[in-house]
C-alpha cells in the first residue's frame, strides 16, 4: 500500500489541475449514513416497504411530505450531530496547496465548506441540507435543528407551506448552475482525478475520470471495495477515505 500511496501522491504533486470527486463514503467516517454499499443503511427497503429512492424523491415530497421528511429528518439529524473529519480537512489543505484543485461532491452535509474548501472551487452537485425554503412563497429558514424537534413536515411561518431543503431528491433535475460549472471545468481538462468514497454510478461522476484518463492524465479511486469505476482507474487505494487522504497529504505536503 505504501508504494501505491507514494505513486498517487507523486502524481497529484505533479498535477496542476486536479478534480476530487467525493461521495458518501467520505462522510461515513464522520458517522453519516450511506444510501448503499458497504455499511449502507438502505440496501433493502424502508419499513414502509418502499425503496429509499422512492421515499426520498420529489414526487413523494409532493404526495406525502410527512413520509419524505421522515427520512430527510434522519439525514438532517445525522448532519447536525456530525463534523468534518480528517479526510475533509486533507482535501481542503490540498486545495490550499493546489490553487487549481476542484472538489465535486455528491454529499449534502456541507462538510467540505466547514473544513475550509473554498466555495469558488466547490461544486455541490446534489445541493445541501440547509437552509430550508418554502415551496409556496420561497421564504427561507435557517432553523433546521428547531424544525426537526417539532412535528413533520416543517411548515413555513409566513404562509404555512411545506418547507424543504435545497437538496436534489431522486427524480429531480440537477442544479443547472452546478452542471454548467462542472462542464466548464471539464472543457479545460484535468491533469488528475481522484474519486473518493463513491459508487460512481452516475455519468457526471464517471465522465471526468474517463475523459482525464483518455487524455493521458492520472486517475485514482479511494474505496474499501471495488466499484463500477475500479476497472477504469490507474490506481485503486483500498481503505477508509479518512486514513488514505491523510497519508496522501502527508506525502504531498512533506516533499
Give the catalytic positions in this structure: 126
Task: Tell me how far apart the alpha carbons of residues 1 and 238 are, in angstroms, rounded to a whole number.
Answer: 9
DSSP 132: E
Q: Alpha helix (H) ranges present in 192-240?
A: 203-214
50, 52, 80, 132 from 69: Cα distances, Å? 14, 12, 16, 12
Task: Tell me how far apart the alpha carbons of residues 211 and 204 are, in angstroms, rounded to a whole number.
Answer: 11
Amino acid at each position: 500500500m505504501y508504494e501505491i500511496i507514494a505513486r498517487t501522491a507523486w502524481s497529484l504533486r505533479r498535477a496542476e489541475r486536479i478534480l476530487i470527486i467525493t461521495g458518501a463514503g467520505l462522510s461515513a467516517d464522520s458517522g453519516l449514513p450511506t444510501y448503499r454499499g458497504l455499511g449502507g443503511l438502505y440496501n433493502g427497503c424502508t419499513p414502509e416497504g418502499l425503496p429509499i429512492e422512492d421515499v426520498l424523491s420529489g414526487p413523494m415530497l409532493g404526495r406525502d411530505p410527512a413520509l419524505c421528511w421522515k427520512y430527510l429528518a434522519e439525514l438532517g439529524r445525522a448532519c447536525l450531530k456530525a463534523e468534518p473529519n480528517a479526510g475533509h480537512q486533507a482535501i481542503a489543505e490540498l486545495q490550499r496547496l493546489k490553487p487549481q484543485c476542484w472538489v465535486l461532491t455528491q454529499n449534502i452535509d456541507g462538510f467540505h465548506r466547514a473544513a475550509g474548501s473554498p466555495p469558488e472551487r466547490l461544486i455541490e452537485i446534489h445541493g445541501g441540507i440547509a437552509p430550508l425554503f418554502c415551496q409556496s412563497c420561497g421564504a427561507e429558514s435557517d432553523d433546521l435543528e428547531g424544525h426537526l424537534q417539532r412535528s413533520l413536515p416543517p411548515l413555513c411561518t409566513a404562509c404555512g407551506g411545506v418547507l424543504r431543503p435545497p437538496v436534489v431528491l431522486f427524480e429531480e433535475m440537477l442544479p443547472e448552475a452546478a452542471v454548467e460549472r462542472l462542464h466548464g471545468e471539464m472543457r479545460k481538462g484535468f491533469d488528475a482525478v481522484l474519486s473518493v468514497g463513491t459508487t460512481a454510478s452516475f455519468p457526471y461522476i464517471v465522465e471526468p475520470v474517463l475523459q482525464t484518463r483518455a487524455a493521458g492524465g492520472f486517475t485514482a479511486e479511494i474505496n474499501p471495495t471495488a466499484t463500477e469505476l475500479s476497472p477504469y482507474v490507474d490506481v485503486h487505494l483500498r481503505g477508509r477515505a479518512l486514513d488514505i487522504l491523510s497519508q496522501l497529504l502527508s506525502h504531498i505536503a512533506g516533499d
